[in-house]
Amino acid sequence: MDAKKQAFFEENAELAMEEQIRYGIPASVTLIQMYWESGRGESALARNANNYFGVKDHRQGAQVYRANDADEKNAPFKMYDSKEASVRDHSLILMGKTYNRCHHLAADDYSGWLKGIKGSGYASAKDYDKTLINDLKAYNLQAYDKKAMEKAKEQGVKCGYMRDLTAPGERVSSLSRQGERRSTQPAVSGRELFRMPVDGRDLTMTSAFGPRIHPTTGLRDNHKGIDISMAAGTKLYSSEPEGVVKRVNWGVDRNHDGKADLDAKGNPVINGKCVEVEYRRGNDVYTVQYLHMSRVDVKEGQKIGPGELIGLSGATGRGTGAHLHYGVKKNGEYINPLSYLADVAILSDSKAVIKDAKKNNLDALALYKKEADRDVLLAQKADAERQRSDEYSLAQVKHDENTEEERNIATEDTVARTAKSNLFSAILGNDGSGLSQMFQGGSDLTSSIVQMLMMSFLALAFNKRDDEEQQQQQNVVDDQQNAVSRENEWDVRAKLDVKEMAEMASTKFDIEWSEQQGGQQITQQERSGYAVS
């Protein structure tokens, strides 16, 4: 194991754990990327520009550090005031939409994060993720992930509490895809707080809410939801903030009175894989049901926010092929889900259309949108935004207070140890004369014995201190010699593996455009995604 490499990880562990607590990015991922992208912190880019991740900046007039990399000659690399600024910008970049496949991953899922980062176009090296994962495990960096989660718990914050928010004054790097820069205000828009349960603008309803003839039995029944046609495996999402998963795979639905929901033949309705989520909005409680799913990604009692993956659609249970049965209760009573979805569409600014297959594909959602009390909904939306912003502020203050407290404790401990050392020296004197003076003039036998014992003790203490000082000096010499030896070893390895290192260090924060597009040459500005209009 490379001692200098280990020292690099230890030196930057606190920075990486801080980012995990804030954004939920595993500390191990930050550390291993930081090491590889900066040539263990010794690349010219890291030393001269505090750029530890190879981030580029193609904005006109931006202060940059010019250097070549594997993909671009004379590339404009971003300059940072400090190492800390580089690490923070790396976190903000990973919070951009380019890497949204990682945003649902746990804060200790280092393998998922590295695979997602590679899959999102971060680096061109074929085995980038595998190489980093193996190196990460070799140095047990995942231990820092666990430690960060424990620290977050001690500080009373959720690990990744800033994942959906950007603090005032912070901005995603210019190297995110064009149009994905975040504002300088907390990102608490309605689009993030409310979301339609299914992606897609044009949806088709094959069976409406209320009395109907069942499509398979041919019998009349009371449909307590709507069926939306979709391919099996379609992603299904939560719709509002402050959701709680109430039931999973309960099999037989029940009415508000607790009695089983039966079909026309008196048989219980079989729901297949299903999920029920409860939301509180104002004085009302909405209970949303997803039935006939092929996969469930949540657990009972789990708290979920807007846009979190519930699972995948399917054709389990009693049904008519792949579709989503979507049911909604308001304060315990079933309501037409179109009424609820109209509210969510307004709150999320969605332009979704739900066509009624049995009414010439007319937009079944439009009528309920017109009937919705927009003033009430917008007021609820504003309340949710304020609450989210307040929670962000409280979490940030709480975290900052705990971080400052940790620093104060560390400082107090250092001061106490220093004071103790100084007190000991003051009592003894440099040669022990201070204490020996206490026994001068003593004539009785007891004083003589005590004096003899104390002087023996002092002699042993000073001999031990001299030995420790000599050992410390020898350790410094050994460290210097080892550093020179490792430096020579690294130089040899760098010369031998220069091609591999160049490939591994190529950071792909900018989009990997081909040099030709449709047979036409493209400019460097277009390649970067920031062409001037």
C-beta neighbour count of 489 within 10 angstroms: 12
Q: What pLDDT was estimated at residue 344? A: 92
Q: Which CATH number fits domain 3-187: 3.20.20.70, 1.10.1660.10, 1.25.40.10, 1.10.530.10?
A: 1.10.530.10
- Average confidence (pLDDT) over 473-482: 62
**The pLDDT of residue 81 is above 80:** yes
Q: Which amino acid is at 117?
A: I
- Lowest-confidence pick of 5-19, 40-54, 259-273, 356-370: 259-273
Segments in 141-269 forming alpha helices (H): 142-155, 190-193
C-beta neighbour count of 69 within 10 angstroms: 16
- Lowest-confidence pick of 149-163, 191-205, 301-315, 373-387: 373-387
**The pLDDT of residue 383 is above 70:** yes
Domain extent listing, the chain: 3-187, 194-372, 433-479
Q: What pLDDT was estimated at residue 507? A: 42
Q: What pLDDT was estimated at residue 485? A: 55
C-beta neighbour count of 329 within 10 angstroms: 21
Handedness of CA 292, 294, 300, 305 (dihedral sign): negative
Please tell me which residue, 457 or 157, carries the higher pLDDT value: 157
Average pLDDT over the chain reads: 75
Please tell me which residue, 499 or 470, carries the higher pLDDT value: 470
Cβ 355 vs Cβ 204: under 8 Å:
yes
**The pLDDT of residue 451 is above 90:** no
Q: Which CATH number fits domain 194-372: 3.10.350.10, 1.20.120.550, 1.20.58.340, 2.70.70.10?
A: 2.70.70.10
Cβ 155 vs Cβ 399: under 8 Å:
yes
**The pLDDT of residue 438 is above 60:** no
- Lowest-confidence pick of 65-69, 496-500, 513-517: 513-517
Q: What is the dihedral of CA 342, 346, 350, 353, to 10 degrees?
A: 30
Q: What pLDDT was estimated at residue 42? A: 92
Q: What pLDDT was estimated at residue 98? A: 86
**The pLDDT of residue 437 is above 60:** no
Calpha distance 493→509 (Å, rounded): 27
> pTM of this prediction?
0.43
Q: What pLDDT was estimated at residue 456? A: 64
Please tell me which residue, 218 or 520, carries the higher pLDDT value: 218
Cβ 58 vs Cβ 174: under 8 Å:
yes
- Rounded alpha-carbon distances, angstroms, from residue 462 to 420, 440, 459: 16, 20, 5
- Lowest-confidence pick of 76-85, 179-188, 321-330: 179-188
Q: What pLDDT was estimated at residue 257? A: 55
| DSSP state for residue 240 in the 8-state scheme | S
**The pLDDT of residue 530 is above 80:** no
Bridge partners of 287, per DSSP, are 278, 329
**The pLDDT of residue 495 is above 60:** no
Q: What pLDDT was estimated at residue 54? A: 87
In tens, the pLDDT along 1-35 reads 799 999 999 999 999 999 999 899 999 999 999 99
Please tell me which residue, 304 or 399, carries the higher pLDDT value: 304
- Average confidence (pLDDT) over 397-410: 60
Calpha distance 43→86 (Å, rounded): 14
Bridge partners of 312, per DSSP, are 235, 295
- Average confidence (pLDDT) over 193-215: 87
- Lowest-confidence pick of 184-193, 200-209, 225-234, 465-474: 184-193
Structure-token pair, residue 526: 């277009």
Q: What pLDDT was estimated at residue 499? A: 45
- Average confidence (pLDDT) over 90-101: 88
Q: What pLDDT was estimated at residue 106? A: 92
Residue 254 phi/psi, 5-degree rounding, is: -135, 150
Q: What pLDDT was estimated at residue 270? A: 78
**The pLDDT of residue 214 is above 60:** yes
| DSSP state for residue 183 in the 8-state scheme | P
Please tell me which residue, 197 or 427, carries the higher pLDDT value: 197
**The pLDDT of residue 465 is above 80:** no
**The pLDDT of residue 330 is above 70:** yes
User: Which pLDDT band holds residue 173 (cuts at 50, 70, 90)?
Assistant: very low
User: Which pLDDT band holds residue 52 (cuts at 50, 70, 90)?
Assistant: very high
**The pLDDT of residue 518 is above 60:** no
Calpha distance 126→280 (Å, rounded): 47
The CA-to-CA distance between both ends of the chain, in Å, stands at 52
User: Which pLDDT band holds residue 411 (cuts at 50, 70, 90)?
Assistant: low
Please tell me which residue, 185 or 135, carries the higher pLDDT value: 135
**The pLDDT of residue 192 is above 50:** yes
- Lowest-confidence pick of 65-79, 226-240, 355-369: 65-79
| DSSP state for residue 450 in the 8-state scheme | H
Please tell me which residue, 292 or 175, carries the higher pLDDT value: 292
Q: What pLDDT was estimated at residue 519? A: 41
**The pLDDT of residue 513 is above 50:** no
- Average confidence (pLDDT) over 133-138: 96
Q: What pLDDT was estimated at residue 444? A: 58
